[in-house]
Amino acid sequence: MSGEQTNPVITEQHPDQFLIQKGKLKLSNPHIQPGQEDVLYHIALGNKSHNLQSLFQDIKFVCMGGSPNRMRQFADYLVSELHINLPSGMGLTNIACGSDRYVLYKVGPVLSVSHGMGVPSLSIIFHEIVKLLHHAGCSDVTFFRLGTSGGLGIEPGSLVITEEAVDGLLRPYMEMATLGRLVQYPSRLDPDLARELQKLALTDPECHCHSTYLSKTMCTLDFYEGQARLDGAFCDYQAEDKMTFLKKVHSSGVANIEMESLCFASYCHRAGIRGAVVCVTLLDRLEGDQITTPHNILEEWQQRPQKLVASYIKLCLNGKNFSSKSS
Amino acid sequence: MSGEQTNPVITEQHPDQFLIQKGKLKLSNPHIQPGQEDVLYHIALGNKSHNLQSLFQDIKFVCMGGSPNRMRQFADYLVSELHINLPSGMGLTNIACGSDRYVLYKVGPVLSVSHGMGVPSLSIIFHEIVKLLHHAGCSDVTFFRLGTSGGLGIEPGSLVITEEAVDGLLRPYMEMATLGRLVQYPSRLDPDLARELQKLALTDPECHCHSTYLSKTMCTLDFYEGQARLDGAFCDYQAEDKMTFLKKVHSSGVANIEMESLCFASYCHRAGIRGAVVCVTLLDRLEGDQITTPHNILEEWQQRPQKLVASYIKLCLNGKNFSSKSS
């Protein structure tokens, strides 16, 4: 059987309006009915095996990042920043420890979750976290992705807040094969939330990052050839082809390149969830491919998205929620 | 900027011949030169920081699987099966422990490596492992993916050895955006190796699996909608649309569905590496979507690809290498 027989149909979905769900998080899936068993396989939780409502009903923020260690570190940081009093002799525990695919920590109203690397890995955990929040009866939840990326023409260590994610062909949507057809989902993120985060980064001394950009982010399915690197196991192009492409990407308004924003943005959009992607840049891709910066400096840079998002969450919890009057 | 401006060009590469490199593994990348520093960022190794030749020169088999715990378990199993004598007081250690993205264990001539979930995650580790083997001066290396999957019309717990991977549109190649163009790489696996594994599975009592199929495998970018499930956070189709699609996939010669074979197969093909994908099926997708089989049974099933691949490696190391006279 060849691909020609499948006759793929492109379905475009480009609503102009960004619709945010108010109140309880509702699933866009009529097949999931109350009372029916739902096993969240990759995090080893379920609506019959666990009391998801009592465990998670108070969640207001979901923070995702690629690395399990970094999301543990973020959870520890939140314990201190949000002044959470852990019961004597208690520590944080990975709630998804029945599986080794992802880690999941709860710190007050915040979930800190790892998503692994790449769109498919993020897709799985996004589906399961949204179902978890639905079963728990959560409302008004905001999602963040805290990531690392390669920058384009900006100083390494800068923060980039994504306005819109584009794919490797610079298209502003995620294309997914569903039932043998290609379907496209727009990948715009909440513009108010992005601006609020930028304003906070530029004004709050705790964020320690005055190089903060609001821009497009390119999301690729591969770290090496997909991002025009010359240092993969395969490379069929020349250094000048790479530079021509990266400059074209840069001039189209893209400030950084990573591997998950397209799915995160399009799923937030589909679910009507307020979402933001905040990434630090680990190098300037117009200057090179390899990440050779010393470990301790990379560590400090990787804390920058964490500091910004933690500051934002603190403001919201203290009642200074920017969302009523956006800048 | 819209996608229309990028004007993607489809480049087809469908060589009829399956070319296996003899002798030392050579990179298809003229930019990586001897003596130049190469940081393998996601496994925290490098050709300057580590003596890769002394560490890895004897590697003949690379075994990859999604879950870090399962690849640790496989490494422990190989210690016993290959009668490796660990020095007194010593145990296996994760060689990639400087990063938390993947795990990497060495057991004699075998590397046991986790690849995470999905094509992009596998892509990164494949690039870095091929570069590692190149720097180490390895030759005649065979790659295996040991995975889990959803079956189509076959008993759960069956083994499927992939002849060819197809994408969500049933196309027998991986399509990747490189420098703003879509490039297609054929995803056929070594037919001799696949037949040798099937023969072994059907004759070796240690493999404990007489339900072993040689067939196409569908590889998707998403676990829920991409695999026509009704139990994701989103679902825009009906139960009958799902069944029509799955039956069409099944009738095209696909016996199982997973999320990595397309990249694994096409990269093996590009690199001239003998490679095989061996997956166990955890459910029959024509019967349902949720994985509700008890944990201990799933555990036993997940050992089946390990037992088959370990048996194959033992035969090769004992000089009974099927590859000279394939069945």
- Residue A249: its pLDDT value, please? 98
Q: Which residues 258-277 on chain A approach chain B with CB closer than 8 angstroms?
A: 259, 267, 270-271
Model pLDDT, residue A17: 54
The shortest C-alpha distance from A104 to chain B (Å) reads 15
**pLDDT at site A20:** 76
Q: Could you count the other beta carbons within 10 Å of the beta carbon of residue A324? A: 7
Of B319 and B64, more confident: B64
Tell me, what's the pLDDT at B206? 74
Tell whether the torsion through CA atoms of A226, A228, A233 and A238 is positive or negative. positive
User: Nearest-CA residue of chain A relative to B130?
Assistant: A233
| pLDDT number for residue A21 | 75
Torsion angle in degrees (nearest 10) through CA of B239, B240, B241, B243: 90
pLDDT of residue A11 exceeding 90, the answer is no
Give me the mean pLDDT over the A132-136 stretch.
97
Question: Strand locations in B179-267, DSSP E?
Answer: 181-186, 212-219, 254-258
- Mean pLDDT in residue range B148-169: 97
Q: How confident is the model at residue B21 (pLDDT cuts 50, 70, 90)?
A: confident
Whole-number pLDDT of residue B3:
39
Q: Evaluate whether A163 touches A215 at the Cβ level (below 8 Å).
A: yes
Q: pLDDT grade, residue B17 (50/70/90)?
A: low
Sequence ranges of the binding site of B for phosphate: 101, 145-148
Chain A residues inside the 8 Å CB shell of B225: 176, 178
**Res A320: pLDDT:** 67
Residue B212 has pLDDT above 70, yes or no: yes
Distance CA A273, CA B45 (A): 39
Longest distance between any two alpha carbons in chain A, whole Å: 64
Give the tens place of pLDDT for each residue, A53-66. 999 999 999 999 99
> Is A69 within 8 Å of chain B by CB?
yes
For residue A85, is it left (φ>0), alpha (ψ between -120 and 50) or beta? beta
For residue B134, give the 3-state DSSP assignment.
helix
Q: Which of A147, A69, A64, A81 is nearest to A310 (CA)?
A: A81
Q: How many CB atoms lie within 10 A of CB B210?
A: 11
Out of B176, B224, B291, the one facing A225 most closely (by C-beta) is: B176
Q: What is the dihedral of CA B14, B20, B24, B26, to 10 degrees?
A: 0
User: Which residues 98-127 of B have a C-beta within 8 angstroms of A?
Assistant: 100-101, 116-121, 123-124, 126-127
Contact A281, A158 (CB under 8 A): yes
Minimal CA separation from B2 to chain A, in Å: 6
CA distance A270 to B234: 8
Q: What three-state secondary structure class fits B187? A: coil
Residue B206: both structure tokens together: 């240690």
Specify whether the CB–CB gap between A71 and A92 falls below 8 A. no
Q: Do B68 and A179 touch (CB under 8 A)?
A: no
Q: Which residue numbers of A belong to the known binding site for phosphate? A: 101, 145-148
- On whether the CB atoms of residues A64 and B313 are closer than 8 A, the answer is no
Whether B235 and A120 lie within 8 Å, measured CB to CB: no
Pairing, β B110-114 against β B61-65: parallel
Annotated binding site of A for substrate: 227, 229
* The pLDDT value given to residue B86: 92
Residues in chain B with CB shorter than 8 Å from the CB of A188 are none
Opening angle at CA A25, ends A23 and A30, nearest 5: 125
Q: Would the CB atoms of A126 and B233 count as touching at under 8 Å?
A: yes
Chain A residue numbers with beta carbons less than 8 Å from the beta carbon of B128 are 233
Question: Which chain B positions have a beta carbon within 8 Å of A69's beta carbon?
Answer: 100
Q: How many CB atoms lie within 10 A of CB B57?
A: 15
Tokens 């994985």 identify what position?
B291
Among chain B residues, CA nearest to A181: B169
Residue written as token pair 């594994």: B197
d(CA A8, CA A183) in angstroms, rounded, equals: 9
Q: Which amino acid is at A92?
A: L
pLDDT over threshold 70, residue A323: no
CA dist A280 and A261 (Å) reads 13
In chain A, what residues touch B8 (CB-CB under 8 Å)? Answer: 169
Could you tell me the pTM of the whole model? 0.93
The answer to whether B141 and B133 have CB atoms below 8 angstroms apart is: yes
Q: What is the pLDDT of residue B11?
A: 45
Above 0.90 for ipTM, yes or no? yes
Cβ <8 Å between B232 and A127: yes
Q: How do beta strands A104-107 and A110-114 pair?
A: antiparallel
Q: Of A102, A98, A106, A44, which Cα lies nearest the Cα of A68?
A: A102
Q: So what's the pLDDT on residue B35?
A: 87
Whether the Cβ atoms of residue B106 and residue B56 lie closer than 8 Å to each other? yes
A28-37 tens-digit pLDDT: 999 999 889 9
Mutation pick from A70, A73, A100 vs chain B, by most beta carbons of B within 10 Å, is A100
- Residue A14: band (very low, low, confident or very high) from pLDDT cuts 50, 70, 90: very low
Looking at the complex, does the CB of residue A10 fall below 8 Å from at least one CB of chain B?
no
Question: Are the Cβ atoms of A267 and B172 closer than 8 angstroms?
Answer: no
Q: Residue written as tokens 């370990």?
A: B310
CB of A176 within 8 Å of a chain B CB? The answer is yes
The per-residue pLDDT for A24 is 87
Question: Are the Cβ atoms of B66 and A101 closer than 8 angstroms?
Answer: yes
Q: Could you tell me which of A151, A21, A123, A23 has the C-alpha nearest to residue A64? A: A123
Q: Which domains can be identified in chain A, with CATH numbers?
A: 18-317 (3.40.50.1580)
> What does the mean pLDDT of chain A come to?
91
Identify the residue whose tokens are 């955006």: B177
Taking the Cβ of residue B299 and every Cβ of chain A, the question of whether any pair is shorter than 8 Å is answered with no
Q: Does the beta carbon of A298 lie under 8 angstroms from any beta carbon of chain B?
A: no
Q: How confident is the model at residue B292 (pLDDT cuts 50, 70, 90)?
A: confident
Q: Are B61 and B110 in contact (CB under 8 A)?
A: yes
Residues of B in contact with A100 (CB under 8 A): 67-69
Least confident segment among A101-110, A171-180, A312-321, B266-275: A312-321
Label each residue of chain A as H, E or C: CCHHHHCCCEECCCCCCCCCCCCECCCECCCCCCCCCCEEHHHCEECCCCCHHHHHCCCCEEEEECCHHHHHHHHHHHHHHCCCCCCCCCCCCCCCCCCCCCCEEEECCEEEEECCCCHHHHHHHHHHHHHHHHHHCCECCEEEEEEEEEECCCCCCCEEEEEEEECCCCCCEEEEEECCEEEEEECECCHHHHHHHHHHHHHCHHHCCCCEEEEEEEECCCCCHHHCCCCCCECCCCHHHHHHHHHHHHHCCEEEEECCHHHHHHHHHHHCCEEEEEEEEEEECCCCCCCCCCHHHHHHHHHHHHHHHHHHHHHHHCCCCHHHCCC
Select from A130, A224, A252 the Cβ nearest to the Cβ of B127.
Answer: A224
* Contact at CB, B224 and A118, closer than 8 angstroms: no
CA distance A204 to chain B (A): 31
**Is the Cα dihedral A242, B178, A151, A292 positive or negative?**
negative
Percent above pLDDT 70 for chain A: 91
Distance between B98 CA and the closest CA of chain A, angstroms: 10
Q: Is B237 at the interface with chain A, CB within 8 A?
A: yes
| CA distance linking residue B178 with residue A241, whole number of Å | 11
Q: A12 pLDDT exceeds 90? A: no
